[in-house]
Amino acid sequence: MVSRALARTAFLLTLNLLFFTLVTSKHTPKASTCPKDTLKLGVCAKLLNDLVHLVVGTPPKTPCCTLIGGLADLEAAVCLCTAIKANILGINLNVPVSLSLLLNYCGKKVPSGFQCS
């Protein structure tokens, strides 16, 4: 009788452990960040050049938009602002206009009150 009660208790404890392990385990995707190698943002220079010079047709959204695609609007703005300020893109730019063009084209918005300085 005692071994039966002990077996039942052990079984219930095992079920509880299994249940709580399955309930609390969830997949959390890796958070996107601005590329550590900011030279990768140089691909945005061609996109920006195409946008500014009104190239016929639609400029491709990749790879520039892919780099900032997983970022929140503010993170994308800071990332591109840093690249523009460091002149990584290799062209002299009107920062607010360039930043706005790139972000809007990639489906992002310039956060209200954001100053690229």
Could you report the per-residue pLDDT of 47-56, keeping only the tens digit for each?
777 766 655 5
Q: Using alpha carbons only, how large is the chain's radius of gyration in Å?
A: 25
Burial label for 102, CB within 10 Å (0-12, 13-18, 19+), is buried
pLDDT for 14-50, tens place per residue?
877 777 776 655 555 555 677 656 566 777 777 777 7
Summarize the confidence of residues 90-113 as an average pLDDT. Answer: 79
Summarize the confidence of residues 50-75 as an average pLDDT. Answer: 74
pLDDT confidence bin for 98, thresholds 50/70/90: confident
Neighbours of 104 (CB within 10 A): 12
- Cβ-based neighbours of 84, under 8 Å, separated by 6 or more: 93, 95, 98, 99, 116
Does this model's pTM top 0.75? no
Distance CA 97, CA 32 (A): 25
